Structure 1
């Protein structure tokens, strides 16, 4: 098996610290990664030399992400037809219901949000592109988990007890399996206060040209607007939106 290079892993660990902090000092990096300061200094000097990090003006021992990371991210996003098409469809769905619409993909046991179109209401869901959440706590995540084959799902659930985000989160793997059977049969999934006690979400699957589920779309709203009538309307709307996006990804053409 090829050897993993520790220095590269540590450099990547440093860069990933900036996912939730716009700036960090060398001391903060060392403390958060529990690494010797001399090691951190060498890694930071290297990352700065390649412009992956830059010193904050006037604060030479504080750092922020550099332009090459934006360029890499833009190159990756530019190759994602899903993101481009999802933004268009999500805007249409959001306009129809005036609630937040998300598109997310599965990454291990988590979901990562690729697209968000917000509502115009003053009370709205706090989320954003790049947000990562436990898949089993979200409507989009349940849809994506329900699409996995048995071995893949077993791998995701292999660690046993699942972390909960609210008292309503499903934390028992067997209970989640049973719930996913229901999601699979329904074709939609709901998050009833499982990721945020004040929010409700409904999601449907997005498929590509091969018929594989590659993402999920959701409509999210505060509980104060989650009426029985709205729930039915939004279930239909998110199904239609996901189907439209699937068509743009080639699914409908493939299935005819």
Structure 2
């Protein structure tokens, strides 16, 4: 590792301040918050503004906001993101923490497609596999993704009166019952399925968001019923939330919900 350049670090510290609050700051506020010399802040802000990383706020003289160059850099970063690769890394981290199987999946019509999977350290028979497609309503990831759709999108995919295919005796096959479950999932912000896609397994899933806040995937932790309990459910629910949150951050999401 080479030596860090103090001036570059200070410039980045300034830019990162704009991620907080209303996104506008004055030079005196930057000076106070970073405890830097006034002349140093003035020179750095002037340089950043000259390079379009900061721009003056016209209606608020003396204040600055992030400039177009930061947007261009963020857009280029987003273009290079690979959801499957990022998901695999986060799934591996979650699996190492809990020792259970972790999935990341996306919604395609009324099915989910698994784009990342890390197996449990225990021998567990799973119906899922990376690249495999399963009915969304039978899985925790799928129910989480369906619950994140708008009413119009959900109506288009799940018209009333239809019957849903079953994977096990516990699968939800009634659209009205599924809609009620999805409403509850949307309110909780986490989904579970108990022996609905695999008679021996239960899962918990949380939503993954992109930089715009849109739900683009879901991350789940799956565990055999022999290791399932209320305490384990609480533990894995929190791990799923944390993992989904980390993956969301990798996709550029920094908001709440």
The TM-score range, normalised by the shorter chain, is 0.5 to 0.7
SS in 2 for 1:177: helix
**Higher gyration radius (CA):** 2
Change (3 A) 1:124 1:147: same
Q: 2:173 aligns with which of 171, 174, 197?
A: 171
Partner of 1:94: 95
Change (3 A) 1:114 1:80: farther
Separation in 1 of the partners of 2:123 and 2:243?
A: 24
Partner of 2:211: 209
Q: 1:229 aligns with which of 228, 231, 235?
A: 231
Partner of 1:128: 129
Partner of 1:83: 84
Residues 55-204 of structure 1 aligned to structure 2 (within 5 Å): 81-158=82-159, 160-204=162-206
Conserved? CA contact 2:136–2:146, under 8 Å: yes
SS in 2 for 1:251: coil
Separation in 2 of the partners of 1:208 and 1:228?
A: 31
Question: Which digits, 9 at most, give the CA deviation of each residue in 1:232-251, with x for residues without a partner?
Answer: 10000000000010011011
Separation in 2 of the partners of 1:175 and 1:126?
A: 24
- The CA deviation at 1:175 is 0.8
Conserved? CA contact 2:126–2:198, under 8 Å: no
Question: Which digits, 9 at most, give the CA deviation of each residue in 1:61-99, with x for residues without a partner?
Answer: xxxxxxxxxxxxxxxxx9652111111111110000000
The alignment yields a C-alpha RMSD, in angstroms, of 1.7
- The CA deviation at 1:103 is 0.2
Separation in 1 of the partners of 2:127 and 2:80?
A: 28
Separation in 2 of the partners of 1:135 and 1:122?
A: 25
Conserved? CA contact 1:125–1:220, under 8 Å: no
Partner of 2:70: none
Partner of 1:9: none
Separation in 1 of the partners of 2:123 and 2:198?
A: 17
- The CA deviation at 1:128 is 1.1
Separation in 2 of the partners of 1:137 and 1:122?
A: 22
Question: Which digits, 9 at most, give the CA deviation of each residue in 1:33-73, with x for residues without a partner?
Answer: xxxxxxxxxxxxxxxxxxxxxxxxxxxxxxxxxxxxxxxxx
- The CA deviation at 1:138 is 0.3
Separation in 1 of the partners of 2:250 and 2:123?
A: 32
Conserved? CA contact 1:100–1:124, under 8 Å: no
Separation in 2 of the partners of 1:199 and 1:123?
A: 9
Question: Which digits, 9 at most, give the CA deviation of each residue in 1:91-136, with x for residues without a partner?
Answer: 1100000000000000000000000001111234342101110000
SS in 1 for 2:120: coil
SS in 1 for 2:141: helix
| Runs of 4+ deviating beyond 3 Å | none
Partner of 2:250: 248
Question: Which digits, 9 at most, give the CA deviation of each residue in 1:162-202, with x for residues without a partner?
Answer: 11111111111111111101000111000111111110000
Conserved? CA contact 2:110–2:136, under 8 Å: yes
